[in-house]
Structure 1
Amino acid sequence: LPFAPLTVEGMAADLVPSATALPKGGAWLFVETGGESPGEARARAEAIVRAADVIDALVVTDPAGQRALWRIREDASGTATRMPDGSEAWPGWEDCAVPPARLGAYLRDFRALMAAHGLRGTPYGHFGDGCIHVRIDFDLLTEAGVARFRRFSEELAELVVAHGGSLSGEHGDGQARAELLPRMYGEEMVGLFERVKGVWDPDDLLNPGMLVRPAPLDAGLRFSVLPREPVDVSFGYPSDRGDFSAAVRRCVGVAKCRTASVSGSSVMCPSFRATGEEEHSTRGRARLLHEMLAGEVVTDGWRSTEVRDALDLCLSCKGCRSDCPVEVDMATYKAEFLHHHYAGRRRPAAHYTMGWLPVWLRVVSRTRTAPLVNALARFRPFAWTAKRLGGIAPERDIPRVASRTFSRWWDQRQDKAERGDLVVLWPDTFTEHLSPSVGQAAVRVLEAAGLR
């Protein structure tokens, strides 16, 4: 801190992918420096490295390398919700803060307290400000687990205060910490808070129970309303031990799906970017599925029209599966929901026309009737009927079917590469039948790179 860095962030090994190129160690400080020029910023970084009592260090000046490291830190609020063995971890002690000079002693006591309660968690966060984030593997689904959550919370509050810290260094007390505030401020001060609240809000309309007269910290827990037995489902959910409820619980509200900017490889979530509405974000859909399982707000279960309508614009692109730090897989959840939603009854026409599109297009390919289909697509009455059945917007043109599929083009090629590492190219329905030029271009690029 005497070197006045721009940022000092802590990161433990459990949160960092093993392939990431980092210095030796089991935990790292990400320290960012600046200056009037790149040279000045680098000189400050090297001065910190020389002065630091560490096992190893690395100065990263490459912008791409910096972005990769910052993504690890940005995703930590999501990746921390799963322990290395796949078990769940939860917030509840997300942003305690102590004076930076006390941080080392506090973290050692904090880890000792977790061990004493048989709990695990991975601290990270704004170490330069003494502010720690952590997700802990509390069992919030059983009475014994919730009781342990309460005991740990009470003891941790005492520990934070003993180190001269704050129970909420960044985000506020909310319902999770309000009951414990007398340990930090004292009963007399909290009583004064209550009197002030009574003067300005005598009917307790504004944020009731958040600061004074709070509900118990272990009341109204989010998962108390979920079914205790696994829901009967058709997909396997191997990362969640076959439990659909656990799969839905993956979403912890990080809100990376609500981004409107396109940066790097991020694609999540296209429908939210188009509508700007929460119900069409990955987070909003996960929340609705949670409410469906709880059965209090959404009461129709798998037949819920609210959930169906929210999932309707999901493209099943799996952008969430790759971009979400907790790997929420809304495409699979949507398939699961629709399977149950329409079980035993007729689906909308578009499910048959578009869902069976690979079948229709294979028939066209085998009968070599692509020219006839394309001609009919330009015939207005036929096109109107086809769009209506397919759920296609009337403003859109019906794509032309290729006269020669990608696979047929490949089979007829005479100049296939004979050398190089083998690449398997898997053409989807659209590449195969509607846009074979895309697949052909991919082949040219791969072969130009020396692959076969």
Structure 2
Amino acid sequence: GGAWLFVETGGDTEAEARARAETIVRAADVVDALVVTDPARQRALWRVREDASGTATRMPDGAEAWPGWEDCAVPPARLGAYLRDFRSLMADHGLRGTPYGHFGDGCVHVRIDFDLLTGPGVARFRRFSEDLADLVVAHGGSLSGEHGDGRARAELLPRMYGAETVALFERVKAVWDPDDLLNPGMLVRPAPLDTGLRFSVLPREPVDVAFGYPADGGDFSAAVRRCVGVAKCRTTSVSGSAVMCPSFRATGEERHSTRGRARLLHEMLAGELVTDGWRSTEVRDALDLCLSCKGCRSDCPVEVDMATYKAEFLHHHYAGRRRPAAHYAMGWLPVWLGWVARTRSAGAVNALASVGPLADVAKRLGGIAREREIPRVAGETFTRWWRRRGGPSGEGKPVVLWPDTFTEHLSPSVGRAAVRVLEAAGLRVVLPPTLRPGSRPVGDARSRSALSLLTARRGRVCCGLTYISTGQLDRARAVLRRTLDLLEPVLATDAPLVVLEPSCAAALRTDVPELLHDDPR
């Protein structure tokens, strides 16, 4: 079987609904069938359908696919024959697409891998559109079964209604709108369907960027093009595990949704409305409330990664310029907390932070809301506790516990609890190396010899999150290369890496390979 058909049945009781479903299964000529009654499994299946308008924009090989023939409809009795002819027509034009839709109503949605970036590709788009319009009409269907005609299909309406009827449309509109002020060029006297295409104004060559964008061929424009306006990011309430998009939920403004930000980045690249490129204050302000939570990367059907796009933008926007104070205060947080730990001044810092006027100044410099309390710095860091307890214990399978900045300096109790849990599970907990004699990492957060102590250059692993989220990507790359240097002995083993802070785990999983795309490690 090459497709799924979801059929929903009901009844006065659950047993009656199930019996009806089983009757359909027995009567169906299908490869396989499954009756699902569990509500959670039903929701999971329906999400596949709900996300189709986004997931269908990428072919299995990663090629882009686009709307354009979004909701043709034919009489349900003609659907099978129409779909066979439709697939044959796509093959004749060398195109691919994934149909989905409301098959009980004969309404078919599809994303097709049109090449809308080159002249020959756009010409093929036109030829296919004309042929498909004729095919739909031949099956007694409508060019727009659900969403309306508009600029995408208005030019083809004479093929469905006939020239005489369309001329009547024009005369009626002229009576009520003689100056053609209302929605001009949409249904009557339309612009050609292959003009004004969204991507015609984008750069033809990849722009110079810091991240690798491996899923988009290294092309930032292609990454931005992922957004096709599904608007799943415009949810106003929490539903299940979805988190996208918290800033839109707070403000309700389109520019603070993932879709709105992607559109602004598109306009920035196009250079027509947003004319100052990476220096754009409009784009900067729209991205300002983005939490870099990467919720869109997991929730968006096409995996728009606004956190990465924001970091990329900030990297270029502030290149060679002074940054906001928060970028230095929060972006360099690992450095400042490391200094506090080395000077053993946590008590003094906490005391100063408890003084109202001083705390207010610190919050302003750090970009922290006045209503928030400044977190207290731990008197003993996690790794200092680790050394005091004597390092690893036990003989079980080793696991490497990542000492992130927050666990290390602000919540070492979390790290201590993790050690207890892992050791109770029979594992041998070790920490990443932190000492390098010359260029070779040694030790396990502590030196094994006096010579190593005398000759080592101290370093500490870091996921680079604070630098990445503030767009300080040159600094982030330097930190991440140092981290990979330290981790080389770990990477050579099969020991799993346990990361307690989710945002650090996300940075290690996605940002490191994309930012260090030229590093084979």
Q: Please indicate, yes or no, whether the TM-score normalized by the shorter chain is above 0.5.
A: yes
**Other-structure match for 2:221:** 245
Q: How far apart, CA to CA, are the structure 1 residues paired with 2:193 and 2:268?
A: 25
Q: Which whole-Å deviations, capped at 9, do the CAs of 1:233-258 have from their partners, x for residues lacking one?
A: 11111110011100000000111111
Whether contact under 8 Å (2:394, 2:423) holds in the other structure is no
Aligned mates of 2:387, 2:42 — CA distance in 1: 45
Shift of residue 423 of structure 1? 5.9
Using the TM superposition, give the Cα deviation of residue 297 of structure 1 relative to its aligned residue in structure 2, in angstroms. Answer: 0.3
- Which AA in structure 2 matches 1:94? E
Contact 2:279 2:317 in 1 (8 A): yes
Counterpart pick for 1:288 among 258, 264, 278: 264
Cα RMSD after superposing both structures: 2.0
Query: What letter matches 1:46 in structure 2?
Result: E
Query: What is the aligned partner in structure 1 of residue 208 from structure 2?
Result: 232
User: 1:16 aligns to what?
Assistant: none
Superposed counterparts of 1:322-333, under 5 Å: 322-333=298-309
Match of 1:432 in 2: 408
Equivalent position SS for 2:111: coil
Shifted more, 427-436 versus 330-339: the winner is 427-436
The structure with the largest alpha-carbon Rg is: 2
Partner of 1:20: none
Question: What SS class does the counterpart of residue 4 from structure 2 fall into?
Answer: strand
Q: Could you tell me which of 386, 389, 392 is aligned with 2:365?
A: 389
> Aligned-pair distance for 1:207?
1.2
| 2:276 paired with 1:300 | yes
Task: Name the TM-score, length of structure 2 as normaliser.
Answer: 0.79
Alignment of 1:311-330 (within 5 A): 311-330=287-306
Counterpart Cα distance in 1 of 2:110 and 2:56: 7
Q: Which moved more, 1:406-415 or 1:160-169?
A: 406-415
Q: Which stretches in structure 1 are left out of the alignment for 5+ residues?
A: 1-24
1:86 corresponds to 2:98: no
How many residues are treated as equivalent by the alignment? 428
Structure 2 match to 1:117: 93
1:385 to partner: Cα distance: 1.7
Which deviations, in whole Å up to 9, do the C-alpha atoms of 1:46-104 show, x marking residues without a partner?
11111111111011111221111111111111111111111111000011111111111
3-state SS of 1:134 partner: strand
Shift of the 410–68 alpha-carbon distance from structure 1 to 2, 3 Å rule, reads: farther
Residue aligned with 2:6, SS: strand
Partner SS state of residue 30, structure 1: coil
Distance 1:134 1:425 in 2: 46
Q: Check if 1:145 corresponds to 2:121.
A: yes
C-alpha separation in 2, matches of 1:226 and 1:248: 11
Q: Closer, same or farther in 2 for the Cα pair 1:106/1:365, shift >3 Å?
A: same
Secondary structure of 2:7 counterpart: strand
Question: What amino acid is aligned across from residue 336 of structure 1 in structure 2?
Answer: E
Aligned counterpart in structure 2 of residue 61 of structure 1, from 15, 26, 37? 37
Say whether 1:366 aligns with 2:345. no
Distance in 1 (CA, whole Å) between partners of 2:86 and 2:35 is 30
Q: Deviations over 1:194-232 (max 9, x none)?
A: 111111111111111111111100010000111111111
Deviation, 1:436, is 3.2
What amino acid maps onto 1:375 in structure 2? Answer: A
Q: How big is the shift at 1:368?
A: 2.1
Task: Report the 3-state secondary structure (helix = DSSP H, G, I; strand = E; otherwise coil) of the residue aligned with 1:247.
Answer: helix
- The amino acid that maps onto 2:217 is R
Cα distance in 1 for partners of 2:397, 2:80 equals 50
CA distance in 2, matches of 1:421, 1:205: 74
The Cα of 1:33 is off from its aligned counterpart by 1.1
Relative to the length of structure 1, the TM-score reads 0.90
Give the letter for the 1:342 counterpart. Y
1:259 aligns with 2:246: no
Q: How does 1:103-252 map to 2 (within 5 A)?
A: 103-252=79-228
Q: Shift in Å at residue 264 of structure 1?
A: 2.0
AA partner of residue 143 (structure 2)? L
